[in-house]
Amino acid sequence: MSGPWEGGGYPAAGDAWAHAADHVTALALREAHPPARTPAASALDIATGSGPAALALARAGVPRVVGIDTHPGLLGVAAERARAAGLAERTSFLAADALSLPFAAGAFDLVVSTFGAMFAPQPRRTAAELVRVCRPGGVLAVASWTPDGVMGRIAPTVLSPLGAAPGEPVPTRWGEAAYVAELFAPLPVEVRTRLLHVRVAYASLGHAVRVFEEKPGPLRAYRRALQAAGRWDEARGALAELFRRHDRSTDGRLVLDAPYLLALGRVAGP
């Protein structure tokens, strides 16, 4: 099985912001079991990628954590990291689609996604599936890049030499509080949002550009189109300039302060 997220070096890019999963899962677990509630016994990580959120949940003591993704290569990375961290007994990883999750209704106490569910092609169906598999009284936590932050500006910047914009649906709409409220409004869940930031660092600006031009995901298709039009070098330069404008480093590295929206909600029920 292959696809836009297979191959290349996704961990080389994603590891730079993987620590955001620690914060997101800590907030979700705090919401899931305040003093009066039973601790979460099970959790699902949607679009787990190389597994940072699933591993964070397992490290925090959740006894059963499942990570799903559509791409076996990334799942293999996640499973290997779980074994290396001594978390294999708490975690399992399987190929599954966020649009049709292979779990019964209410199967999990906690359902999370860090920068993953936002890329599913049908946002409303994805939101409905997130809520469906979370038990009544359970907690959802979905982190998504904002459209106006540096991570959200990557696709529009790269496509600018073609005078094009990313196609629908736009993943970073999940980073808009009003849009998230609209997605979940018909569903039996009360969602609130908050704007957070994660520090993303690479060895240098040049290193960051090289990592992203090899990164699996939508950028891969954009690069093919730009190369066919003879505009990739221009797009690559625009990406470097975007990173340069947002660089917070003073020591030759590239350090980005990347905003994201956290949607945190509790499914209706006891």
In which domain, by residue range, is 192 found? 10-148+167-201+257-267
| Coil vs helix vs strand at 219 | helix
> Cα separation of 112 and 54, whole Å?
9
Cα distances from 161 to residues 22, 51, 225, 226, in angstroms, run 37, 34, 11, 8
Cα distances from 71 to residues 2, 6, 9, 34, in angstroms, run 7, 6, 13, 35
pLDDT attached to residue 10: 66
pLDDT digits (tens, 9 = 90+) for 13-72: 789 999 999 999 999 999 887 654 566 899 999 999 999 999 999 999 999 999 999 988
Residue 29 within a domain: yes
- H and E: helices and strands count for the chain: 10, 7
- Site of tokens 């954590």: 65
Backbone angles phi, psi at 109, to 5 degrees: -75, -30
Residue 171 within a domain: yes
Residue 250 within a domain: no
Q: What is the pLDDT along the chain (270 residues), one digit of tens a residue?
A: 345 545 546 677 789 999 999 999 999 999 887 654 566 899 999 999 999 999 999 999 999 999 999 988 889 999 999 999 999 999 999 999 999 999 999 999 999 999 999 999 999 999 999 999 999 999 999 999 999 999 999 999 999 998 877 777 899 999 999 999 999 999 999 999 999 999 999 999 999 999 888 887 788 888 888 999 999 999 999 999 999 999 999 999 999 999 999 999 999 986
Residue 3 within a domain: no
Give the domain CATH number at 57.
Answer: 3.40.50.150
Residue 83 within a domain: yes
Residue 176 within a domain: yes
pLDDT attached to residue 1: 33
Domain count for the chain: 1
Residue 71 within a domain: yes
pTM: 0.92
